[in-house]
Amino acid sequence: MVDVRQGYENNLPRRVITGRGASGRLAEVCRGRGWNRAFLVSDRGVESAGLLAPVAASLTAAGILAGASAEVTPEPPLTDVARLAGEIREAAVDVVIGLGGGSVMDATKVAALVASRGGAPADYVGIGRAGGRGLPTILVPTTAGTGSEATFVAILTDAAAGTKVGVVDPSLLADIAIVDPALTDRLPPAVTAAAGMDALVHAIEAFIARVATPIARGLALEAARQIGPALERVCRDPGDEVARDRMAIGSHLAGMAFANASCCAVHALALPLGGRFHIPHGVITGCFAGALMRHNAPACADDFAALGTALEWGALEPAAFADRLDATARAIGLRATLDRIVVPATAIAPMASAAASNRRLIDPNPVAVTAADAERIYAEVLHVGE
Ligand SMILES: [Fe+2]
């Protein structure tokens, strides 16, 4: 945990509304804030899942919907976000609503900023470059995993440079987050499993991060309490509404937690792998969590016991805690998904060096991770071919 005598800062969404059906209150919430013209951002997946139409209809019925786009693509390219910002500016709205997963919410955060503050999305890439808040935003997640509605990070793609880039600034925090677990009821099982395990990894890494603030530690533990009894249950029985509710709240709390701590080495190793091979992010973080917690064991015995207790796994010894993470990844099908991908041996060293040089994610890790450590862990977890 951060040295509290040194002082620290916490950044959280301004207002959070939760509950089954809470997304039905969008029009009322806008009116209550005096926002009479709204722009609605989503994507084709949200539309084809039938989640967009009722929200758009309720905003139209209230006379609030002034523009909409369902064109966001995964890890949105900077150029797409620039176009979206232009559409938002032209619609002259008071508020931008992002309804979707991490990509939609990230695009919404940056487009709302660019629409009001001008310039191009690339101008804001980096840490603390917003220069002030953009148009008000309401973020409504349709998956339970990214926690993006609770964070001030947006991950976009610089297609010209062939890299992922981050816009990181507390000004990106939503004015209002609406967490409606009913929106996740019909998620495909593979998405439920990967996103849910990623939320668990967020809670664990936020709790053990060297830069975790006390409030982040509290949020991470409560996230673990919500997720522990629900993750395997919701993967076995997608219709279990109680488990869905717990996952939605747990994912949201884990998002707030890592926003006020950090993700650590699991995410450092996940990024180069996800960038080179098209493997869902949560499949990677879920499968690497066990190996990295084994690596972190010397510094984390008390923290793992506390997390194990919160997860209802018991106050496990570090080795048993790491084994339990591996067993969870197997039980919900993530391991089988990763095993289908053969990673060429030549890819390991470059990925390891990229992971170990990611200071933002490696420095907060409780135990140092060198390129050699990363190489060993990739080789251990991945199905490596010739
Ligand atoms: Fe993640």
> What dotted CATH number matches 4-183?
3.40.50.1970
Residue 245 has pLDDT above 80, yes or no: yes
What does the domain layout of the chain look like in residue ranges? 4-183, 187-385
Ligand 1 centroid to 247 CA: how many Å? 15
Same fold, 4-183 and 187-385: no
Ligand 1 centroid to 198 CA: how many Å? 5
Q: Categorize the per-residue pLDDT at 6 as very low, low, confident or very high, splitting at 50, 70 and 90.
A: confident
How confident is the model at residue 164, as a pLDDT?
A: 81
Residue 189: partners with Cβ closer than 8 Å, 6 or more residues away: 235, 238, 333
How confident is the model at residue 246, as a pLDDT?
A: 98
Ligand 1 centroid to 362 CA: how many Å? 14
How confident is the model at residue 3, as a pLDDT?
A: 86
Average pLDDT, the chain: 96
Ligand 1 centroid to 302 CA: how many Å? 23
Nearest CA to 374 among 263, 264, 265?
265
Residue 386 has pLDDT above 80, yes or no: no
Ligand 1 centroid to 123 CA: how many Å? 25
Ligand 1 centroid to 147 CA: how many Å? 9
Do 224 and 204 form a contact (C-beta atoms < 8 A)? yes
Considering the domain delimited by 187-385, tell me its CATH architecture: Up-down Bundle (1.20)
Ligand 1 centroid to 221 CA: how many Å? 17
Residues whose Cβ atom is located within 5 A of ion ligand 1: 198
H helical segments located in 6-68: 26-32, 44-48, 52-61
Provide the CA 312 distance to its chain's centre, in angstroms: 23
Residue % of the chain over a pLDDT of 70: 100
pLDDT in tens, 102-137: 999 999 999 999 999 999 999 999 999 999 999 999
Do 7 and 164 form a contact (C-beta atoms < 8 A)? no
How confident is the model at residue 5, as a pLDDT?
A: 85
Lowest mean pLDDT among 134-143, 156-165, 288-297, 348-357: 156-165
Rounded CA-CA distance 244/240 in Å is: 6
